[in-house]
Structure 1
């Protein structure tokens, strides 16, 4: 089988992409091994697939090139894209557009993802963005996330934990919330009665601000929270001790949290290292939407 340099580059791009579907990666590997002169039966044994599968994708590549390795569009119900693909669409839409473009369009996002070995139509891109309530042409953010390759690895690790948490492990999403407005209504709420809806006082009193630190059980949604005076390492380590005390000591604890200073300080890292019951996965920078709490 003959593979041109351009086709070889595309195949290598598919195989190196963390977002490529397993089926697509298998097809690309079949073509790559066939181009190296490996017989079909040996390829099948090497990759753990049927000889007929090897023959099918070698023939499809001969007839249609790299494009033939992708699934054809089918009538009927559209393909349901998994979390990793939706994550890829949102990540691209919230990054800086390529040079020469002021904003991301659906077509531009689809083309960008195709270069990474991920085939998604512009219409599907539009549906994913609508579901995520992301509108690239109306973004008013003041901070742009750099296109860091590490982002994909870290974001994928977090998503895999949500979809398939380690058995027997307590998975906790942890974060602080500072500057919460403490308010109360000026008059009590009037409960509903037949023919009249509940009435709630519009005006309220301010009682300053409060800050909290909380941990949410990803599996059950149960939240452990406490009010804090300072958002520092001492406070955070104290909260970790409380988690340790109020949970089954035989159950490992896996924390998902951001890279805040109280989470990554030398003192916090030393405490976590001294307590091997705790494991931590950090969300990527500028991706707070990956933390469930």
Structure 2
């Protein structure tokens, strides 16, 4: 994923959510609708999450230090994990609390009845533009993968997070419109509480998915299948290496891959020839997979298992 593509999607979502949050709060103050309050907090949480993603991307660009020799690329994963916590607590749990509170006092919407419907329809339009931007930017890097595969396998967390947040925002707006609309039609505030509860359950589910996927990135994931194949071809694609004895890769960040491999070389090779050969292999790896920033190659003599 290009950093610019992820940044464009984040900024588009941030601008949309700030405007939507202000509008929803005004609608809540005029109508006292619990669905509008839940959606207001949802938009505030989303705005804060996008700010966190921008901050994480900025901090990840810091240079490596003696204390952190592999750099700060994984800070993007940390901030994405914080986003899932914020969405779960501030968005989902608050909405469920508000639904429970509304059930205790299920009053209808008695004034400014046209406001919440108008606000929700406008919000759906604005959120759709943000969602479209996230889809367009994701399509640049998604390739032939399905959307589920893209969310599960993407090494850069920003686009999957924005995609899920925007999708959750759109579905949540539909839930809110359902709750508010049925409350206006029937005069029964239980519909408003039901819409709020649906929003809360949706946000909790999305937060759990984000937490699971980001946790995997935090623990450390290997390179993609395609990158591994290109690296193996680069290592064995010249006369310097007889075979790969074993190899491990690890993402230090979305755009930084560590490659460590034990390679079999000819037993008669001189030290200077060995050094030049390893340099040539490293150059081929970087040409094949540009994100392979840190490469450790250990030369060895291959011995079949029966000879050990």
Q: TM-score range by the shorter chain?
A: under 0.3
Higher strand share: 1
Higher relative contact order (CA 8 A, sep 6+): 2
TM value normalised by structure 2: 0.23
TM value normalised by structure 1: 0.24
Higher helix share: 2
